[in-house]
Structure 1
């Protein structure tokens, strides 16, 4: 399957069948397909071949041989997705998000997607407690509102509280936002967020899940979806969270995956600040402004690094970004305040544009907020 642009319907159905086998999850599925070449080949592999694969024992091989028990599961799930207009992307497809693929066997073997999903977009996750306060709402509104015009996608879980505030703030700031579910993408949870989910879709966003159409949520599926939120994002921002919260789990996964984590400080006597303060004490970045968020995710992507040596400006570069880069020199740096004054723009607006240029590999930031052309 390596190098294939898109998995065939037959392969996707076989993959769905494989995931329906008792005891076989995404990680085991990925290992099996790496060794056997395809999901269809897994069912045809000999017992001796399967035993050579790490983690595969007779306990897992036995249900694989009972193909009849799952033979119709994949076909039903495939047809349900087609009828619902839901796209299925597999770990081996070219349009599967690369950041998520980097999780290796921790990545979902496939994604069910409603809406439009740009796999290579720059994403930041904003998460927190379901019992958010007015303080948490204001923080989400201001942090995400300050990202207007950056092209950054905001990822969260559509839960009540901070998740909902994050999606709402992104929509208000005209940013694409995406919700990751702990159930099938046909089941909006909580039900009170049905209108919000539709607005996300109407604004060009997406609803994602690794679970087939019709799957109901359980207490186990939400922690599983947290790894997808973390894996999709360059950074995770925790707005409000009590101690030992789900948001802290997401933050912990982000650290494990090599992502940056930021946390918003809160009132010292608020229970909803305990989790964020613990994260800050443990080394999470202190997030007080949109500029802090931008600084956290300004690392140049591999695609941008590859393009960094190109001198010609892209023909489709936005006018303001073109003006900024034309004001920069390749040998002499300029401070952001000087550049903002020269451009007659606010420092925040210039910083947002500079981030996008840095992500495209066209400029470099030096210590002290000085910038030069790459």
Structure 2
């Protein structure tokens, strides 16, 4: 594409926001809402509360990045780049403050607005976990639900496969770019999902590989697209519980299948049920809670939980001045990777902000 055409392309402002250090999806979209589509005019940027470094970053048009993305989009059929101002952007996800500024989709983007249930669980499920996935998912498909999951090994992959085998539709949200299927052994499964009328979705640029901090971000998209999240089987320290936590914060339903206390893969589900998740024995336990599938005139909700401070030991070590991840980990005496994952969660829910040099506490309303 000619340079002049790139300079006026509608994706350019969104890429500039995405590339600016310290903005993130929450502040980036807030800036776009405040200043409108002409936010990039220098005389208006001063009203955005940006630092000098951020202002300088926004002044550098990412033309090379735009050209590369457009080349990816045009290289194959059914490739889409959705921004939050477009009608094709999935409506349920777009209601969330931390929704991605850009969403990369392979397949029909209209599928993203179908009634969906997220099905997640252990990467190494027990025999019971496998059987529960294989028996419950076809009934959910029969009720008209699209099955959404993360294409991971274990319950995720089984959920996609069970939906397809039942003649249903399924969506896969990746923790990497759409050119970098992870895990690689699920490459054929991803193609089958597309052949079945489903879609592959990612927040990462198409060429980005899987990194640890991509997956918590991926999980909030899985829950954000869905009416609710079913946790089939999960240990007490599990990525599936991150998805469930995002679902609660997003006002989605959370369902969990109980298990024996001797089973370490049941600990996470049992804990979720203790905390108010709907215990699932039959498919009807799920359907009666979802408005679109409920025959009841009244939907019973648990009392709204009082907001508590997440990860207080970590937040106590993030102040108003930039603090590096290594220093936070040292103060908390926790592994750096675990601290980084939690910081990403806290950023997406508005507790901290990423800045040059580390993280700072966010000023919450």
Classify the TM-score, shorter chain: 0.7 to 0.9
Q: How does 1:277-356 map to 2 (within 5 A)?
A: 277-297=270-290, 299-300=291-292, 355=293
Q: SS of the residue aligned with 1:223?
A: helix
1:178 aligns with 2:171: yes
Q: What is the Cα deviation at residue 9 of structure 1?
A: 8.2
* Candidates 229, 241, 253, aligned match of 1:248: 241
Give the CA deviation at 1:367: 7.3
> Cα distance, 1:26 vs. partner?
2.1
Could you state the TM-score of these two structures normalised by the residue count of structure 2?
A: 0.75
List alignment gaps of at least 5 residues for structure 1.
1-7, 301-354, 359-363, 369-374
Q: Does 1:129 align with 2:129?
A: no
How many Å separate the matches in 2 of 1:183 and 1:25?
18
Scaled by the length of structure 1, the TM-score of the pair is: 0.73
Aligned counterpart, 2:51: 57
Q: Deviations over 1:23-58 (max 9, x none)?
A: 3332232122112222xx333233xx334335x333
Shift of 1:212: 1.5
User: Equivalent residues in 2 for 1:157-172 (5 A)?
Assistant: 157-172=150-165
SS for the counterpart of 1:159 is coil
Decide which structure has the larger Cα Rg and report it: 1
SS at match of 1:146: helix
RMSD: 2.0
Pairing 1:148-297 to 2, within 5 Å after superposition: 148-297=141-290
Residue 328 of structure 2 corresponds to which residue in structure 1? none
CA distance, structure 2, for counterparts of residue 15 and residue 248 of structure 1: 31
Tell me, in whole angstroms, the C-alpha distance in 2 between the residues paired with 1:252 and 1:192. 28
1:185 to 1:9, Cα distance in 2 relative to 1, 3 A:
farther
Taking structure 1 as reference, are residues 9 and 205 closer, same or farther at Cα in structure 2, changes over 3 Å only? farther
- Displacement of 1:232 in angstroms is 0.4
Which 5+ residue runs of structure 2 have no aligned equivalent? Answer: 1-6, 300-365
Over residues 312-340 of structure 1, what are the superposed CA-to-partner deviations in whole Å (9 max), with x where a residue is unaligned? xxxxxxxxxxxxxxxxxxxxxxxxxxxxx
Structure 1 residues 367 and 37: alpha-carbon distance in aligned structure 2, compared to 1, 3 A threshold = closer
Deviation at 1:204, TM superposition (A): 0.5
Q: Is 1:103 the equivalent of 2:96?
A: yes
